[in-house]
Amino acid sequence: MVLDALELVSATVKLVPVRSLFTGAGDLPILECTTAKCRALISLQGAQVLSFCPTGEDDLLWLSPLESFEPGKAIRGGIPLCLPWFGVNRREPELPKHGFTRNQSWVLDNIAESADGSLEISFLFQPSEADLHIFPYFFSAQLTILLGSELTLSLSVRNNGDETMPLSFAMHSYFAVSGLSGLGLNGVEGAEYLDNCQQLERFTQDEALYFTGEIDRVYEGLSGQQCINDTQRNIVISGRGCDTVVVWNPGEALAKDMADVGPHFSEYVCVERGMAFADELQLAPGQQHLAVMTVAQAR
């Protein structure tokens, strides 16, 4: 689909250079979507939602104010997709962290408006020759982004090859918060987790999670619903086909060494949904996996 600007019944979608939105930014193309229900920004690189504001509300997502938006570099914030593996590749640790689709352009496939004024935008990705060189599996991915008063991401991945394909992934959401002090995450109580700050040692989460320093925890097979309890609002994350929950904030000390985070570490928490570690999938030839995640504001 080739697009500069699209006027729908009650929505407008424009393709704009990112530098027209953020000063000092590079040259990536961004979709600016305005509907009666929300305003959203989506980068074609990575099919990455960068911003989602339900009408009259603050952004649910955090985007680094230090982000440079250079083509080929992962964008810090919004909802990057980690695909076709999450984190360090467990078979070949020297491969790029979080796979290779977040740094590449996806194809804008379709834009449609529903009768209720929601906007549905879909993107496609297929690996290049260079991608197949490091991950020799013919697959295709489709991401459909539903912009209503809530935000829903539907990610489907299909194995088009004739060999079983290992697949892990995450929808790596950065949620905007008013601060970390007293901020709680519910929906993880009683679950076991792998602590990525302690060589993936296994512990049990006795109560709600609080952000008292560096946090990097993997909850396998959890699914359900998580809720970030901020002072003025709650953010609710739910999904299906994305049973692994990863919770991450680098904390002050680690953030100092991250050029695109630095002093801004306390403005966000990542609550990611995907299938990773024990939830990693083995897609048979012709098999497809669908993951759906919804994020919504509640008071």
Ligand X SMILES: O=P(O)(O)OC[C@H]1O[C@H](O)[C@H](O)[C@@H](O)[C@@H]1O
**Which positions lie near ligand X, rule CB under 6 A?**
74, 87, 97-98, 196, 216, 246, 248, 270, 272
Least distance (Å) between residue 82 CB and ligand X: 7
Least distance (Å) between residue 8 CB and ligand X: 33
Q: How many CB atoms lie within 10 A of CB 124?
A: 14
Closest Cα to residue 204, out of 183, 185, 225, 188? 188
Q: Which of 159, 196 has the CB closer to ligand X?
A: 196
Least distance (Å) between residue 196 CB and ligand X: 5
Decide: residue 192, CB within 10 A, 0-12 exposed, 13-18 middle, 19+ buried: middle
Q: Which of 87, 239 has the CB closer to ligand X?
A: 87
- Using an 8 Å Cβ cutoff, are 116 and 103 in contact? no
Q: What is the Cα–Cα distance from 39 to 25, expressed in whole angstroms?
A: 20
Least distance (Å) between residue 109 CB and ligand X: 26
State yes or no: is 264 an active-site residue: no
Q: What is the Cα–Cα distance from 137 to 150, expressed in whole angstroms?
A: 34
Least distance (Å) between residue 43 CB and ligand X: 15
Least distance (Å) between residue 85 CB and ligand X: 12
State yes or no: is 172 an active-site residue: yes
Q: Which of 33, 185 has the CB closer to ligand X?
A: 185
CA distances 237 to 33, 213, 287, 291, Å, are 22, 22, 27, 13
Give the 3-state DSSP-derived string for 207-255, with helices as H, strands as E and coil as C.
Answer: CCEECCCCEEEEECCCCCEEEEECCCCEEEEEEECCCEEEEEECHHHHH
Please tell me which residue in 98, 172, 220, 267 is annotated as part of the active site. Answer: 172
| Closest CB to ligand X: residue number | 248
- Using an 8 Å Cβ cutoff, are 146 and 130 in contact? no
Q: Which of 141, 246 has the CB closer to ligand X?
A: 246
3-state DSSP assignment of residue 267: helix
In sequence order, the β-bridge partners of residue 204 are 192
Q: Which of 111, 209 has the CB closer to ligand X?
A: 209
Q: Which of 38, 246 has the CB closer to ligand X?
A: 246
State both tokens at 90: 């467990």
The set of catalytic residues is 172, 272
